[in-house]
Structure 1
Amino acid sequence: MFNMTTEALEKKNALNTATEIHQQPDVWKELVAKLSDQEDELNQFIQSIYDKHEHVRVLLSGAGTSAFIGDTLVPLLRRENRGNIQFDSAPTTNVVSNPEDYLQKDVPTIMVSFARSGNSPESVATVALGEKIVDDFYQVVITCNKDGKLATNIKGDANSVTILMPDQAHDKGFAMTSSFSCMMITAYTLFTDNTFDENAITAAEKLIDALPEKIDDILGYDFERIIYLGSGMLGQLSHEAALKMLELSAGNVVAVYESSLGFRHGPKSILNETSMVVVLLSQDPYTRKYDMDILREVAGSESDMKVVALTEASDAEVEKLADWTIPVSSVSESLSGDFHLALLYAIVAQTLAMKKSLQLGITPDNPSPDGSVNRVVQGVTIYDYDE
């Protein structure tokens, strides 16, 4: 995998992370089949709530990477759903400290909890706050762990449903990889009428085979800062891409994110001769114009920094501007929208972070062996909330 033997990955404590990135196309196949089998049951559950109320709020929530699933999906869900359904995203880490800012008593709410373990204290507390504050409260738990508190706490609750990810998606490594993409596919399938484009699976298989050589070439540049840029849902995905690098490099690489247009408004100050800018180019022709403008701008800098462009297919202009261009899809048909591009871009960001971690002599499966950062967060005190 990734131009490394299993023995080498195991020795460097990277086997779990590498496996969990590499396996994603296969796990997606299993997940899509599973969701198809559950389609009628899940649709009936959601539709019964929609039918019961004139207005329904769907609040997508999680902590860390799990929160970024909601952030990435909300622009798409708002565009593709009818007006009486309100989609919002809020990290559990915000809801717990300021519940009245995020939970509305008189607004019927479906809380969608994304969780790898289902045991993060903020995630469990957010549900408890929802039950306490919101009059008409429903739950969808999308998790990798059937034994986690989020899943076990709603057994027998007619107003709640749990959707379990394939067993392989329950990442053993520190960073969320398979779990992130699988939970995102699940919410997309549940809350849109769109069929998952299985061309994305074929594209991912080919991408993973071709990616290692390109990533190894990029790592010939010893960057100390990385900036991910994108627009719309890809701008939100850039948050997750930056976090992967920050986590797996144990903070040795400064990793930030911004929207393509927002970057000029101050954040551009971060650029120096050790920087790498990664532009996530949209498939949408209108949005792509703005992504291309920032690509031209950063590519035209006289600094020694480098630029990477992620795009769906080969593009001569992009290749001329960027130091490295990664076309993520080699299938003949165009993918159906930026959602599917986001899944492929995530694989690139995950792989780059893992390989950078190895280059720095860090162990990706446990980049923080001193315990300062943990796979399931520790050290959180949850206080009683009194309305």
Structure 2
Amino acid sequence: MSNYSKEIPHTRREIEQQPELWVKTVKQLSEEKEKMEQFLHAIEKKHSHARVIFTGAGTSAFIGETIYPYVRRAIRNKGWESEAISTTNLTANPYLFLDKEIPTIMVSFARSGNSPESVAAVELAERLVDEFYEITITCNQDGALAKRKQGEDRQLVLILPEESNDKGLAMTSSYSTMVLTALYLFSEDKTSFAETILAVSSAGKEMLQECADLIPRLLETEFSRIVYLGSGVFEGLSRESALKFLELTGGRFPTMFDTSLGFRHGPKSILSSGTMVVVYVSNHPYTRKYDLDILKEIYSMEERGKLVVISGNQDAEVEEYSDYQITIPLAGKEDIALAFPYVIFAQLFAYETSLHSGISPDNPSPTGVISRVVQGVQIYPFEGEN
């Protein structure tokens, strides 16, 4: 690994604390279980159909993109449908995304809760949707979203442990703990979910150990850009992984994300000897076939960079058709469980590449091109009707 200063950077500490923080977060959430269930049950009792919109800006938006394919299946029995729409899109186009007559539960993810678009999105929804319900999942109890006041039957606020409120610029602990919180909220069997998180926590600790071995070897290779590929819940995770690398390296390494099948449809033109590709392999036997196909295809190409595979199953084909592999022992678990240790790899790889490039991971944008809470956003009044 790289040489560190005596004072451990916030970002490194916030990445490494996650396995323990996941267990702590579930314990805290269990104390609010009754409040959550009563809130959701009251909406279910009142409406035979509702839409759940997962929203946020940047990494907070990618939380929704990661979880909604899984959650939509979990809430179907309620007559609910889920989707992920960023606050940046909602705020600029409320007339396209907000439906006056459809009961809507907006789940806002927010590290600070002070992003202008995040506040504007819920205010627009409250105004334009007849039956609007607001759930805020945030790391900051003092943020604007956490302090919004609606009636108790209309608003649920879940505050995460203080450790999740990252001090570093890039979202790390905040991403994974907000993912966890939303999954817990919509889980039908919260006791079983808590048990799964114990296994996930152990897998996260193993990932930290695996990264300590693999990442220094990756940094010895020559690469100038990186691609993350994954399907289903891993599409959102791949997008977050690509952003993390871009953010923490100050934009020095162009990044891309796609699905295993989608990559062939044009994006594959990014491949070169300097392009590293990371593939998140699914545990689902059907989806896994497509992941393995793209592995074989890329591996056979002459003009390519290193191919890295992160998997939850030992697989001879993975080992044969990749240059580097990490296998985390979560065989039999759904892909959403794999997302937790997988994201640790992406975060640590970005962090170490940042250090290796002479950049401060806590402040990879010293000129202020990006900031912890977005700056310079003008929110305009919406005059139209939905």
State the TM-score, normalized to the length of structure 1. 0.95
Which secondary structure does the structure 2 equivalent of 1:238 belong to? Answer: helix
Partner residue of 2:336?
Answer: 339
Partner residue of 1:42?
Answer: 36
From 8, 19, 23, the equivalent of 1:25 is: 19
AA matched with 1:379: G
Gaps of 5+ in 1: none
AA matched with 1:230: G
AA matched with 2:100: K
Deviates more, 1:78-87 or 1:152-161: 152-161
Q: Distance in 2 between matches of 1:51 and 1:214?
A: 51
Q: Distance in 2 between matches of 1:251 and 1:113?
A: 27
Q: Distance in 1 between matches of 2:71 and 2:276?
A: 31
Residues 176-215 of structure 1 mapped to structure 2, 5 A cutoff: 176-194=171-189, 195-196=192-193, 197=196, 198-215=198-215
Q: Distance in 2 between matches of 1:223 and 1:38?
A: 46
Change in Cα spacing, 1:359 to 1:71, as seen in structure 2 (3 Å) is: same
Partner residue of 2:72?
Answer: 78
| Contact 2:298/2:304 (<8 A) preserved | no
State the shift of 1:39 in Å: 1.1
Partner residue of 2:366?
Answer: 369
State the shift of 1:207 in Å: 1.8
Q: Distance in 1 between matches of 2:321 and 2:210?
A: 21
Q: Tell me, yes or no, if structure 1 residue 98 matches structure 2 residue 96.
A: no
State the shift of 1:223 in Å: 1.1
Deviates more, 1:288-297 or 1:299-308: 299-308
Q: Distance in 2 between matches of 1:177 and 1:319?
A: 29
State the shift of 1:287 in Å: 0.4
Which secondary structure does the structure 2 equivalent of 1:350 belong to? Answer: helix
Q: Distance in 1 between matches of 2:212 and 2:90?
A: 39
Partner residue of 2:305?
Answer: 305
Q: Distance in 1 between matches of 2:284 and 2:230?
A: 12
| Contact 1:29/1:201 (<8 A) preserved | yes
Q: Distance in 2 between matches of 1:137 and 1:267?
A: 39
| Contact 2:135/2:157 (<8 A) preserved | yes
Q: Distance in 2 between matches of 1:106 and 1:375?
A: 36
Q: Distance in 2 between matches of 1:290 and 1:180?
A: 27
State the shift of 1:245 in Å: 0.4
From 128, 137, 142, the equivalent of 2:132 is: 137
State the shift of 1:238 in Å: 0.4
Residues 196-228 of structure 1, C-alpha deviations (whole Å, 9 max, x = no match): 212011111122123112111111112111010
Partner residue of 1:274?
Answer: 274
Q: Tell me, yes or no, if structure 1 residue 89 matches structure 2 residue 84.
A: yes
Which secondary structure does the structure 1 equivalent of 2:235 belong to? Answer: helix
Q: Tell me, yes or no, if structure 1 residue 358 matches structure 2 residue 355.
A: yes
AA matched with 2:132: F
State the TM-score, normalized to the length of structure 2. 0.95
Q: Distance in 2 between matches of 1:313 and 1:77?
A: 23
Deviates more, 1:134-143 or 1:205-214: 205-214
State the shift of 1:5 in Å: 4.8
Partner residue of 2:380?
Answer: 383
Deviates more, 1:57-66 or 1:36-45: 36-45
Q: Distance in 2 between matches of 1:50 and 1:6?
A: 53
AA matched with 1:131: E
| Contact 2:39/2:153 (<8 A) preserved | no
Aligned residues: 378
State the shift of 1:155 in Å: 6.5
Q: Distance in 1 between matches of 2:165 and 2:173?
A: 7
Which secondary structure does the structure 1 equivalent of 2:76 belong to? Answer: coil
Partner residue of 1:172?
Answer: 167
AA matched with 2:373: V
Which secondary structure does the structure 1 equivalent of 2:107 belong to? Answer: strand
Q: Distance in 2 between matches of 1:101 and 1:149?
A: 25
State the shift of 1:3 in Å: 6.6
Q: Distance in 2 between matches of 1:288 and 1:102?
A: 33
State the shift of 1:168 in Å: 0.3
Q: Cα RMSD over matched residues?
A: 1.4
Moved over 4 A (4+): 2-6
Partner residue of 1:119?
Answer: 114
Partner residue of 1:324?
Answer: 324
Of all paired residues, the percent bearing the same amino acid is 47
Q: Distance in 1 between matches of 2:173 and 2:12?
A: 11
AA matched with 1:355: E
AA matched with 1:57: R
| Contact 1:154/1:161 (<8 A) preserved | no
Residues 246-283 of structure 1, C-alpha deviations (whole Å, 9 max, x = no match): 10111100110001000000000111110000010000
